[in-house]
Structure 1
Amino acid sequence: MRASSKAIVRVNIDEAWRILSDHAGMTDWGPGVTAVVTKPGTTEPNGVGAVRKITAPGPAPAIVEEITAFDAPGRLGYKALGGVPFADYAGEVTLVATEAGTLITWTLTARQRVPFVEQKALKALSLGLLQAYVRRLKRAA
């Protein structure tokens, strides 16, 4: 299954990429969120192969993700190694420069086990991640 959310933000694509690709900077995206890079990437610290651990307030386990695509300034991909309720969970964020700013598309994929319920949850998560990122970009603008 797949879910995508889109937004255009009046921010330069290079600034949008800088914020997106700064994994430890995800700490600034929401209250109580902590993000750390636990393993650097193979060719650059935040690039392909990097592993990030994201924790949020509450009893939920930490989310551990590995970066699978790192194509500046347009595409960042990742897959979950643990901490998510979806099977084979992965995400991809694309950035495209437009006259109005940067078009952001946040796409999540997972293997569906529970029809309908997981699809709605995946869509809500895609939208929530996009909204948190957009709020962070607007503070930078």
Structure 2
Amino acid sequence: MRTQRIAAEATTEATPEEVWHLLSDRSTWPSWSPLGSHAGVSPGADGDPDGVGGIAEFVTGRHRVREEIVEREPLHRLSYALLSGLPLRDYRAVVELTPSGAGTRIRWSSTFVPERPGTGWIYRLALTRVLRGTVTGLAAAAPARRR
């Protein structure tokens, strides 16, 4: 089966520091994204719940997914892998922050392989919608923190 690739981008007037503040704290994600509730499962190696190795669970509708932080480069990049909850293999998401004028360009991308043949298109469609909502939500929430 082929690896599926999806991405969504947005630009915000918020600085990379302001965006990173929300992005790097997964407990905030449900407040600005289409995701439902958040629960920390286990902290990363450094004791930070959102550090490398940190596992969190998100419940959205009937979906309960667990994700692990696999890369964390403050102010620039956060990557996580899906551990369970969707019939996908090798799911990895990368969020990249790039200064853009006085603001920040946010690019959220992911790759995955569907477990069942013929389902790649539907997961690409559904997850693209989630990524778009997540990126636009983060882009809107970051400057709102200033007010």
TM surpasses 0.5? yes
Q: Could you state the TM-score of these two structures normalised by the residue count of structure 1?
A: 0.86
State the alpha-carbon separation in 2 of the partners of residues 40 and 85 from structure 1.
25
Deviation at 1:108, TM superposition (A): 1.3
8 Å CA contact 1:92, 1:107 repeated in 2:
yes
Q: Please report how far the alpha carbon of residue 44 of structure 1 lies from its aligned counterpart in structure 2 after TM superposition.
A: 4.8
Residue range with higher mean Cα deviation, 8-17 or 31-40: 31-40
2:132 is matched with 127
* Counterpart secondary structure, 1:62: strand
CA apart distance, 1:138: 4.0
SS in structure 2 at match of 1:116: helix
1:12 lines up with 2:15 in the alignment: yes
Greater Cα offset, 102-111 or 124-133? 124-133
- Do the aligned partners of residues 52 and 98 (structure 1) sit closer, same or farther apart at CA in structure 2, a change above 3 Å counting? same
1:30–1:116 CA distance, 2 compared to 1 (3 A): closer
Structure 2 CA distance for partners of 1:19 and 1:122, relative to 1, 3 Å:
same
Q: 1:5 to 1:48 in 2, by over 3 A?
A: same
| Unmatched runs of 5 consecutive residues or more in structure 2 | none
- Which consecutive segments of 4 or more residues in structure 1 shift more than 4 A? none
1:53 equivalent to 2:57? Answer: yes
Q: Which residue is 1:139 aligned to? A: 144
Q: State the alpha-carbon separation in 1 of the partners of residues 23 and 35 from structure 2.
A: 18
Partner in structure 1 of residue 73 of structure 2? 71
Answer whether contact 2:14 2:103 (CA < 8 A) is retained. yes
Which is worse superposed, 85-94 or 45-54?
A: 85-94
Please tell me whether the aligned partners of residues 82 and 90 of structure 2 are also in contact (alpha carbons under 8 angstroms). yes
Alignment length, in residue pairs?
Answer: 139
Deviates more, 1:36-45 or 1:61-70: 36-45
Q: Residues 8 and 100 of structure 1 are in contact (CA less than 8 Å); yes or no, is this contact kept in structure 2? A: no
Percent identity over the alignment? 27
8 Å CA contact 1:87–1:110 kept in 2: the answer is yes
For residues 23-48 of structure 1, the C-alpha deviation after alignment (integer angstroms, 9 at most, x for no partner) is 11223225882212211111250111
Query: Mind listing any 5+ residue stretches in structure 1 that lack a counterpart?
Result: none
Identify which range, 94-103 or 29-38, moves more after superposition: 29-38
Structure 1 pair 15/91, CA: closer, same or farther in 2 (3 Å)? same
Normalization by structure 2: what TM-score? 0.83
